[in-house]
A and B are shown apart, each in its own frame.
Chain A
Amino acid sequence: MIETAAIFAFVCFALGLVMNLWKVVTAEDVADRILALDTMFINAIALLVLYGLALGSDIFFEAAMIIAMLGFVSTVAYARFILRGNIIE
């Protein structure tokens, strides 16, 4: 049962990732692309945790944690760049 659920979840998040990428490529506005990239980070975290669950390993936990903790910093940097031009004022 859990395996089926895991596979289902894998497919969902993977599709999410691909759709994010679709948006990065096709979006009109850079802001939309950045948003799509940020969502890619979230889907990546989900995939990493799921992979760990599926393998029964906790080795990917730190990677997921660091993406969660630091991934947003680059998003913020892009956003500041669009808004202010200068990211460290």
Chain B
Amino acid sequence: MSLFLIAALPFLGAVFPALLIRAGRNASASAAGLTTLLAFVGLMLHAPAVLRGDVIQAQFDWLPGLGLNANFFLDGLGFLFASLILGIGLLIILYARFYLSREDPMGNFYTYLLLFQGAMVGIVTSDNILLLLIFWELTSLSSFLLIGFWKHLPEGRQGARMALTVTGAGGLAMIGGMLILGNIAGSYDLTVILSSKEAIQASPLYLPALILILIGAFTKSAQFPFHFWLPHAMAAPTPVSAYLHSATMVKAGLFLLARLWPVLAGTPEWFYIVATTGLITMVLGAIIALFKDDLKALLAFSTVSHLGLITMLLGFGTKFAAVAAVFHIINHATFKAALFMSAGIVDHEAHTRDIKRLGGLRHLMPITFAIATVAALSMAGIPPFNGFLSKEMMLEETVHTAWGGSAYLVPGLALIGALFSAAYSFRYIVHVFLGPKRSDYPAKPHDPGVGMWLAPAFLVGLVILIGLFSAKIVGPLVATAAGAVIGGEKLPYYSLKLWHGFTPALYMSIVAVAGGAVLLMLHKPLARMWDNAPRPEAKVIFEALIAALTRLARTITDGLHNGAMPRYAAIMIAFTVALSFYAYQSGTLAAPTRTLQDVGLIPILGWASLLIATGFMVAMHRNRLLALVLIGVVGLVVSMGFNYLSAPDLALTQISVEVVTIILMLLALNFMPKETPIESSAGARLRDISIASVAGLGVGGLIYALMTRDFIGETISGFHLENSYKGGGGTNVVNVILVDFRGFDTFGEIIVLGIAALVIFALTEAVLGTRVRAYLLNRKPDLPQAGDSHPMMMVVATRVMMPLALMVAAYIFFRGHNLPGGGFIAGLIAAIAIIMQYMASGFAWATERQRYPYHAIIGSGVLIAAATGLGSWFSGTPFLTSAFGYIHWAPLEEFEWATAALFDLGVFLAVVGAVLLALESLSRFAWQPGANTDHAMDINPARDDVAKTENEG
């Protein structure tokens, strides 16, 4: 099976559980299980080749410009992790089917689980570090969903948030580290990076890259001082804890350490950072675990401790330690997942996982007892279980490791870690299962059904078998995986067996087990001491840190974004002016190449009117209605200017946009003070005036400079003029640009226009859905009202105008391809023709006669435009290529057809719908149904009848 398919299967399969949950929980679980099984089988088909030492590859260039290739490869290490992820995933799916209760949304659970699984498989099979980073972030996100699966529990949400914050921040650091690494190696492909050890370790950026990558790995794998999120993530359902927090996700960091081991390891920096962190984490986790009364918290800290152990082994940088690390990854995954599942069973059946309330369960739950005991003994490092083997190797390796000149530090601390590890493992057995039967369990505990204990029993079977026949069962896997970790060099001598003779490691093991037993006996007084000792509470520190960060962010944001428009404008414009001034200073300006043209009297008058209107506007801008009137003047003069300067299309657009804008502004002004109050101080105003003047003069100067010189290169206009008719079949270049050359832009724009109108509609709906509605309905006009709400003269005039205006719109639309006009202008004209009816005859009258919702008009416009664009695919040309031709029908003159006209129809509809939807939404704020009972002049005969009967009556 292709590696692409193996990585993609969980993602593809993630859809099914959520859908099939309607067919029942078994269907949902089976869908998840089958997907995983399929991927697992696909993986296993590669097993013989991988174990032979081959590397399976699958490559696909995704974004080669960025160096991001969807390359996958499968070597021993990836194969080991992928089998853990998919194999344990299968067991978890089975276990979760029986663990989750009827109230839990199981479909969602399996969907999240499969998403997570896909992301994990992606991490371990990526051959490109950018791709790996994407999957890395995906695991953070999907684990957030899984940890917070019980949304109703505050601990669940808080734990999920904490996990996401910590691992997300680590991921961010890792992106930086990976980019540096890729930069040094000259490629983002792992296989290339793995072969450039010398270049990377010699680079001055080695240490920054190492630290950043390690932060990513340590946060993910819960290494000190980032370990605190893992115990809080235990608020997740137990299957999640067993899967994410023991077997897979927390090992992603270890995977990364192992993956990059060949290039990063072997330096003193690597040894002192990685091995020390691992050592501290191992000892600290083990000590805390002994004093946790919550079963899952105990297991969480023991996981932290074991992850520290593996990190330490990888940090040693020796080949033997790498072998031990790989072996312990396998062993830990088996016994810890089984332990989590057994803790879940106890919780599920006894309704508590507080060790203080448990004990004596061996009589009530013999099967669970057997499973938990074997797994816990393996964790304690008791022969003949698998935990013993890898722990022996670890202890053996510590004896040969000196830290800063001291030969006793590492073995001594490792011994303490092992001692506490044995103690909490024994506690898990003794305090939960042994002892007398109690009478005060919250529920009556008994062994669960086979569905629930089958998965942990299987794992425990592995624990025993690997312990007894390790070389046969996992020997080849350990060899290939360890071979991949150390970069294909020759493996050191090691043997996976129980008896190595009387070695230092054996004595240390004996001391650890005996000391662990003693510690457990002293547990009561020790726990009292522990409880009384002051110690930092990670959650409090974390929350204080987050609160401080939030305050900092808020201070900065509020300082820049205080909601005052003048401030935004001042910051932006001052910055732009400064930038432009720098550009002017550092650049060169050639001498003008063009001479000024003569100006006639009328253009000068127009120019003067513009200046007068604008200047007057500046002086009087606080009177808002007057400002709108002056905008009308400016708009008129500008559209005259467009005509004079040979831009009739722009002139037509400008005229119609003016009208719509004025209506929009007046609708809004109805609810606003008619005078702008003075809010800023004289100094601030002076500052703003100077910024605005400098910027205005600067832009004026820039335009003058631009227009008195020829362009350096040839402009694109020539191309458009030449090809407008040839390529687009139209002689109006502006329209051909809109519907053909830049048709894709136009397509995007009408979508944006439609979205904007829909947002206005949605906001209106949202506001009118609140108490504001009542306020608006009872609102009294702030100025006295005069006259008639629907004056007859206006009603008649607008109704007569309507067909005329629509006719003009049709005319402008059809001639648009060859002469000034087009769908956009026609749409505005049609919209104004309809909005006239709203104004004259009233909102109620117009709405009654509105047959098609404006949303649908927008939608059909966008769809027609899209369909026209897609149509060109059928003739094998790119999106939006237009076709045109000529038709001659007998009585008519010959006329042109062009697919561009159909696209323009889409533009037309979208514009009509968007303008009307926006204006209608805004006018609904002021609409008071029933307030104006006098009907607009109505030609509806039915209403005459009503009037007649009323008169007669």
User: Interface of A with B (CB < 8 Å)?
Assistant: 10-11, 14, 17-18, 21, 24-25, 30, 33-34, 37, 40-41, 44, 47-48, 51, 59-60, 62-63, 65-67, 69-71, 73-74, 76-78, 80-89
Asked if residues B663 and A74 are in contact (CB atoms below 8 Å), the reply is yes
Asked if residues A83 and B640 are in contact (CB atoms below 8 Å), the reply is no
Q: Given contacts A47-B640, A62-B652, A83-B786, are A88 and B632 in contact (CB under 8 A)?
A: no
Q: Which residues of A contact B667 (CB under 8 A)?
A: 87-88
Asked if residues A17 and B609 are in contact (CB atoms below 8 Å), the reply is yes
Q: With the chains together, A80 CA to B785 CA distance in Å?
A: 10
* B821 touches A (CB below 8 Å): yes
- Chain B residues 914-935 with CB under 8 Å of chain A are 919, 923, 926-927, 931-932
A-B contact pairs, 26 of them (CB 8 A): A14-B601, A14-B602, A14-B605, A18-B608, A18-B609, A24-B633, A25-B612, A33-B626, A37-B633, A40-B633, A62-B648, A62-B812, A62-B820, A70-B655, A76-B840, A78-B662, A81-B669, A83-B785, A85-B785, A86-B926, A87-B663, A88-B838, A88-B843, A89-B842, A89-B926, A89-B932
* B297 touches A (CB below 8 Å): no
CB of A77 to closest CB in B, whole Å: 5
The CB with the most chain B CB atoms within 10 A, among A37, A71, A76, is that of A76
Q: Which residues of A contact B787 (CB under 8 A)?
A: 83-84
Of A37, A73, A84, the residue contacting B789 (CB under 8 A) is A84
The CB with the most chain A CB atoms within 10 A, among B628, B829, B843, is that of B628
Asked if residues B662 and A44 are in contact (CB atoms below 8 Å), the reply is no
Q: With the chains together, A82 CA to B674 CA distance in Å?
A: 11
| Mask: chain B, 808-835; 1 = CB below 8 Å from A; 0 = not | 1000100000011100000001001001
* B839 touches A (CB below 8 Å): yes
Closest residue on chain B to residue A73 by CB atoms: B659
Asked if residues B820 and A59 are in contact (CB atoms below 8 Å), the reply is yes
| Mask: chain B, 627-647; 1 = CB below 8 Å from A; 0 = not | 011101100100110011000
- Chain B residues 137-172 with CB under 8 Å of chain A are none
Q: With the chains together, A79 CA to B815 CA distance in Å?
A: 34
Asked if residues A86 and B781 are in contact (CB atoms below 8 Å), the reply is yes
Asked if residues A59 and B663 are in contact (CB atoms below 8 Å), the reply is no
Q: Which residues of A contact B605 (CB under 8 A)?
A: 14, 17-18
Q: Which residues of B contact A83 (CB under 8 A)?
A: 785-787
Q: Given contacts A77-B662, A81-B669, A83-B785, are A88 and B839 in contact (CB under 8 A)?
A: yes
CB of A26 to closest CB in B, whole Å: 10
Q: Given contacts A81-B669, A89-B789, are A33 and B609 in contact (CB under 8 A)?
A: no
Asked if residues A86 and B670 are in contact (CB atoms below 8 Å), the reply is yes
CB of A72 to closest CB in B, whole Å: 8
**Can you name 18 extra interface pairs (CB under 8 A) apart from A62-B648, A66-B655, A70-B829?**
A30-B626, A60-B643, A62-B820, A63-B651, A69-B808, A70-B655, A74-B632, A76-B836, A76-B839, A78-B628, A78-B632, A81-B670, A83-B785, A85-B781, A87-B663, A88-B838, A88-B923, A89-B789
User: Interface of B with A (CB < 8 Å)?
Assistant: 601-602, 605, 608-609, 612-613, 616, 625-626, 628-630, 632-633, 636, 639-640, 643-644, 648, 651-652, 655-656, 658-659, 662-663, 666-667, 669-670, 781-783, 785-787, 789-790, 794, 801, 804-805, 808, 812, 819-821, 829, 832, 835-836, 838-840, 842-843, 919, 923, 926-927, 931-932
Q: Given contacts A62-B821, A69-B804, A77-B839, are A88 and B927 in contact (CB under 8 A)?
A: yes
Main secondary structure of the interface of B (DSSP, over half): helix
Q: With the chains together, A65 CA to B629 CA distance in Å?
A: 22
CB of A68 to closest CB in B, whole Å: 10
Main secondary structure of the interface of A (DSSP, over half): helix
CB of B660 to closest CB in A, whole Å: 9
Q: Which residues of B contact A85 (CB under 8 A)?
A: 670, 781-783, 785
CB of A35 to closest CB in B, whole Å: 10
Q: With the chains together, A44 CA to B805 CA distance in Å?
A: 20
CB of B432 to closest CB in A, whole Å: 74
Q: With the chains together, A78 CA to B627 CA distance in Å?
A: 12
Q: Which residues of A contact B832 (CB under 8 A)?
A: 70, 73
Asked if residues B639 and A37 are in contact (CB atoms below 8 Å), the reply is no
Q: Which residues of A contact B643 (CB under 8 A)?
A: 48, 51, 60, 63
Q: Which residues of B contact A77 (CB under 8 A)?
A: 659, 662-663, 666, 839
CB of A18 to closest CB in B, whole Å: 6
CB of A45 to closest CB in B, whole Å: 10
Q: Given contacts A17-B609, A63-B655, A69-B801, are A81 and B632 in contact (CB under 8 A)?
A: no
Q: With the chains together, A73 CA to B932 CA distance in Å?
A: 22
Q: With the chains together, A70 CA to B636 CA distance in Å?
A: 12
CB of B187 to closest CB in A, whole Å: 60
Asked if residues B629 and A34 are in contact (CB atoms below 8 Å), the reply is yes
Q: With the chains together, A44 CA to B794 CA distance in Å?
A: 23
Of B613, B648, B663, B932, the residue contacting A21 (CB under 8 A) is B613
CB of A58 to closest CB in B, whole Å: 10
Q: With the chains together, A65 CA to B655 CA distance in Å?
A: 11
Of A37, A63, A76, the residue contacting B629 (CB under 8 A) is A37
CB of B775 to closest CB in A, whole Å: 15
Q: Which residues of A contact B640 (CB under 8 A)?
A: 44, 47-48
Q: With the chains together, A37 CA to B843 CA distance in Å?
A: 27
Asked if residues B839 and A66 are in contact (CB atoms below 8 Å), the reply is no
Asked if residues B613 and A24 are in contact (CB atoms below 8 Å), the reply is yes
Of A59, A65, A70, A87, the residue contacting B659 (CB under 8 A) is A70
Q: With the chains together, A62 CA to B815 CA distance in Å?
A: 11
CB of B941 to closest CB in A, whole Å: 24
Asked if residues A40 and B636 are in contact (CB atoms below 8 Å), the reply is yes
Q: With the chains together, A44 CA to B625 CA distance in Å?
A: 22
Q: Which residues of B contact A41 (CB under 8 A)?
A: 636
Q: With the chains together, A37 CA to B820 CA distance in Å?
A: 26
Asked if residues B927 and A76 are in contact (CB atoms below 8 Å), the reply is no
Asked if residues A11 and B601 are in contact (CB atoms below 8 Å), the reply is yes
CB of B659 to closest CB in A, whole Å: 5
Q: Given contacts A17-B609, A37-B629, A51-B644, are A66 and B820 in contact (CB under 8 A)?
A: no
Closest residue on chain B to residue A50 by CB atoms: B602
Q: Which residues of B contact A73 (CB under 8 A)?
A: 659, 663, 832, 835-836, 839
Closest residue on chain B to residue A63 by CB atoms: B651
Closest residue on chain A to residue B838 by CB atoms: A88
